[in-house]
Amino acid sequence: MASHKIILGVTGGIAAYKAAELTRLLVKNDFDVQVVMTESACHFITPLTFQALSGKEVLTSLWKSNASNGMSHIELSRNYDLIIIAPASANFLAKLTHGLADDLLSSLCLARTCPIAVAPAMNVHMWTNEATQRNVSQLKKDGVLFFGPDSGEQACGDIGLGRMTDAEELFKSIQNHLTPKILNNKKLLITSGGTIEMIDDVRGITNLSSGNMGFAIANTAASMGASVTLITSTHQNFSENIKVIHTSDAHSMHQAVLEHINNQDVFISVAAVSDYKPKEKFKGKLKKSDSDMTLQLTPTIDILKEIGLSKNKIFKVGFAAENENLIENAQKKLKAKNLDLIVANLIHESMGLEDTKISIIDKNNVIDVPKSNKIVAAKAILKEIAHRIHSDK
């Protein structure tokens, strides 16, 4: 079952191509998307494009209704979580302001029972025009959500406000609006990404962790209302309200964790921290030769175990990436490191991949989460954490 049902309204404008990418992102992340296009929109991008991306017939006309009573504009307005108009032209903002209903999209907006958001897209002079700004002001008073617009170079060559917000940022805004704030006022410290232990100034020992699971957990936790501090080796497009601390090796990650662990409610160790490091780092670059080379390794500090065995009352979550005996090995790690929860996955089913299949394990239960993208998996993990930290009160 899809996590949310969305109506995506597409109006006429060159930015309509961004709506195709937004559709892809929504569907990829388990949203049920019904696309509704205006006649003008069909001149910029074909309904077939959106049908292929959404898996549903695209609706374009008030007079071609699949509803048994012909009231598609009424039926479409029911049982949806949000209507997002992207792009929203100046003309459509005017229609929305004054309650016009001369096509399917404007009719269902007028008949809606769910929230509505708009992603404006127009020339800078159209955006700054007094009439448009009056409409924007009234729509905001009416409770319409505005995502954007952004500033930059426009298709006509002008520069300024009016660009439609990029699809990825729109997706984050939609996700943030629709996600229940079950972690409101909670502080989460998260580690993510693989570390690298330097052999010399240009070579190092690392692993194949992409950091995508930690990325998904951090962004999703922020959308759930949490105050998130992320310690990571990766450079990704994190939400602006996440405090990001970049580290590279196990030592610097360890120091960052110790510096920020106090007063946190939850510690989630997603990072694939190197288990070993070279006993000695060579200066400069080691020269290649025909002889064998022996590299002596020494263990790195076990950050998760240190936090788990400390007297800190923080709720502690670890990850176990295994190649065999998944549940058994994860349960051993849960106990040995004194964790409250552990997320287990098989290496070949997760590391470096977009999708993952996980099991969420505590001292008494194993909850299997079917294979899904990592944002969906992150939601499942955070819901379990929220349930436990709230039930402890």
Tell me whether residue 156 is one of the annotated catalytic residues. yes
Amino acid (1-letter code) at residue 169: E
Q: Nearest 5°: phi and psi at 32?
A: -90, 115
Task: Specify the residue for token string 């996440």.
Answer: 242
Q: Nearest 5°: phi and psi at 232?
A: -145, 155
- Secondary structure E strands in the chain: 4-10, 31-37, 82-88, 116-120, 145-146, 150-153, 159-163, 187-192, 197-198, 204-205, 227-232, 243-246, 266-269, 276-278, 297-299, 315-322, 341-346, 355-361, 366-373
Amino acid (1-letter code) at residue 264: Q
Q: Which of 193, 237, 228, 219 is nearest to 29 (CA)?
A: 219
Amino acid (1-letter code) at residue 298: T
CA 151, 152, 156, 157 torsion: positive or negative? positive
Helices (H), 279-366: 303-309, 326-336
Task: Specify the residue for token string 């924007």.
Answer: 136
Task: Please tell me the distance from the alpha carbon of residue 383 to that of residue 3, in angstroms, as a whole number.
Answer: 13
Q: Which residues contact 69 (CB under 8 A, 6 or more apart)?
A: none
Task: Please tell me the distance from the alpha carbon of residue 340 to that of residue 360, in angstroms, as a whole number.
Answer: 11
Catalytic residue among 42, 109, 114, 156: 156
Answer yes or no: are the C-beta atoms of 190 and 268 closer than 8 Å: yes
Active site residues: 156
